[in-house]
Amino acid sequence: MASSRTVLGIVGGVGVILLAGWFALDEHDSVNPVFNQPSEAPSVVEPAVVGTEAPVSQMIAEAPAPEITRAVPSSQDQVRLSFAPVVSAVAPAVVNVYATRVEQRSASPFANDPFFQRFFGGRTPYQSRPQTSQSLGSGVIIDPSGLILTNSHVVSGATDIRIALTDRRELGVELVLDDPETDLAVLRLSEPETEPLPSLGFADSDTLEVGDLVLAIGNPFGVGQTVTSGIVSALARTGVEASDYEFFIQTDAAINPGNSGGALVDLDGNLVGINTAIFSRSGGSVGIGFAIPSNMARVVADAGSRGGDIVRPWLGARLQPVTPELAESLQLSSPSGALVNEVAPTGPAMQAGLQTGDVITAIDGVPVTTPATLNFRLATMPLGTEAELSVVRRGETVSLNLPVEAPSGGTDVSATTIEGNTRFAGATAETLQPALAEQYGLSYEASGVVITDVAASSPASAMGLATGDVILTLNGIEIENAETFSQLASQRQRVWEIVLQRNGRVIRTRVSG
């Protein structure tokens, strides 16, 4: 009995304490903890609809239930989404590309050491030896006769190129056009096939929209043909630095090493782009891949089918992006367009009437957001036509007709490639002209010769010459044109005193012959 009273006393005491706590909390307008709430649920006061006094729940209860019709799938085919029909149609036209290169590698482990090279005057006492390497990529058959489109970086410098079809046949091909400026190349079968090959047609990449479904097909990491799906994540991407004409399609379809040169297709089975680059910190896909638009690929493919070089239109004006500060000073509604900051003394821009300070906002009705946009659009236009430019000049919009034409004389016949056993062997140089100056970011008034190509593993490459270098003097002799450069650079000299311009800087160097 005593123990019962003790228990009741403890319970009663706890009850008094809890009750006191309850009133204390209420006194201070505090929110009651969950365990302090009464067991009975509080009443809910429903709002009435405006103009009535009936609660909403009552009105809903009295309203007739709507008739909902649900279509129940009657088969698996009605609920299954598959890209299989598209893949079966386009996959046979996508091939694997194997490119073999033979490079001269020094037998010395110190050959690339700057101190070692300086000690031996740029030469190595160890004999170099050839080393064979193989790169792997993808390609797209664009003509049943056996014309294949791939990336320039997949096949550039290759001594032997082969393709593998989806039926595992391997065929020899030859390089008919290499265009590093767009990172595209055209291959052709060494021996024609008796039966036409499967091929893909070109879509109009200008009709693509962000959100469109696309498929990427290629041979990632050499595991075999692989298909991935995604959407167009963005259009007209720049800053990728994968080619001179930056206007890429961005997709989240998985693209990995080995996919280069492969196909990006729409759901109609047409080619919308050539996969060429990825953004990645790990080396694998992170959902940011880039493809060259089909409208640019078509231009290169057409030139390759003719077996000739590409002659592109040129503008004859130097451009720069419009920043927010420039937009404000130029009274533009947004920082968009291409600002003209220099016009060549001769060329299409001068003929059209472009002036320094003009802002090009559209070409043939298509908005121009950056200089890269204008360069891409112009490069895809046929020679001999005219393009209409929309230009903002001192706050007013004017229209100008720009002739779409090649640089004077077309390709430069004065280009020369140094051969033989000289320090400049493997270098290709051209006499500077306004179009070349524009291409390499030089002043239109620049003169001399510019290095337009340096063969891999050549003496010129080992000496350090780079594409875009302007050769000013050799051993004190001024270089005025490619012919003078060829005469001097083909000679053997014990020592070369070279003065060149690179990225706006004048460099003087001395190398052994």
- pLDDT tens digits for range 143-183: 999 999 999 999 988 888 999 999 889 999 999 999 888 89
Does the pTM exceed 0.75? no
Nearest to 290 by CA among 281, 277, 271, 272: 277
- The reply, when asked if residue 490 is annotated as ligand binding, is no
CATH, range 317-373+383-404:
2.30.42.10
Fold of 416-512: Pdz3 Domain (2.30.42)
User: Is 183 annotated as catalytic?
Assistant: yes
- The reply, when asked if residue 258 is annotated as ligand binding, is yes
Say yes or no: do domains 88-189 and 205-306 share a fold: yes
Residues with Cβ within 8 Å of residue 131, at least 6 apart in sequence: 102, 103, 104, 105
Cα pseudo-dihedral 452, 348, 350, 318, rounded to 10: -40
Q: Which of 66-75, 76-85, 232-241 has the lowest mean pLDDT?
A: 66-75
Q: Of 32-41, 118-127, 143-152, give the range with the top mean pLDDT.
A: 143-152
**Architecture per CATH, 205-306:** Beta Barrel (2.40)
User: Is 28 annotated as catalytic?
Assistant: no
Among 138, 233, 260, 458, the active-site one is 260
- The reply, when asked if residue 183 is annotated as ligand binding, is yes
**In 213-321, alpha helices (H):** 294-306
Residues with Cβ within 8 Å of residue 36, at least 6 apart in sequence: 18, 21, 22, 25
Its CATH class, for the domain covering 88-189, is mainly beta
| Ramachandran area for residue 426 (φ above 0: left; ψ -120 to 50: alpha; else beta) | left
Judged against a pLDDT cut of 60, whether residue 43 lies above it is answered with: no
Section 283-291 average pLDDT: 82
- Give the tens place of pLDDT for each residue, 95-117: 999 998 776 555 544 455 444 44
Domain residue extents for the chain: 88-189, 205-306, 317-373+383-404, 416-512
Among 135, 152, 179, 183, the active-site one is 183
pLDDT band at residue 329, thresholds of 50, 70 and 90? Answer: confident
Q: What's 257's DSSP letter?
A: T
Q: Which helix (H) or strand (E) holds 342?
A: strand 338-343
User: Is 266 annotated as catalytic?
Assistant: no
- The reply, when asked if residue 15 is annotated as ligand binding, is no
Section 16-38 average pLDDT: 39
Among 135, 138, 152, 153, the active-site one is 153
Judged against a pLDDT cut of 60, whether residue 125 lies above it is answered with: no
φ, ψ (nearest 5 deg) of residue 326: -65, -40
Residues with Cβ within 8 Å of residue 189, at least 6 apart in sequence: 145, 146, 171, 172, 173
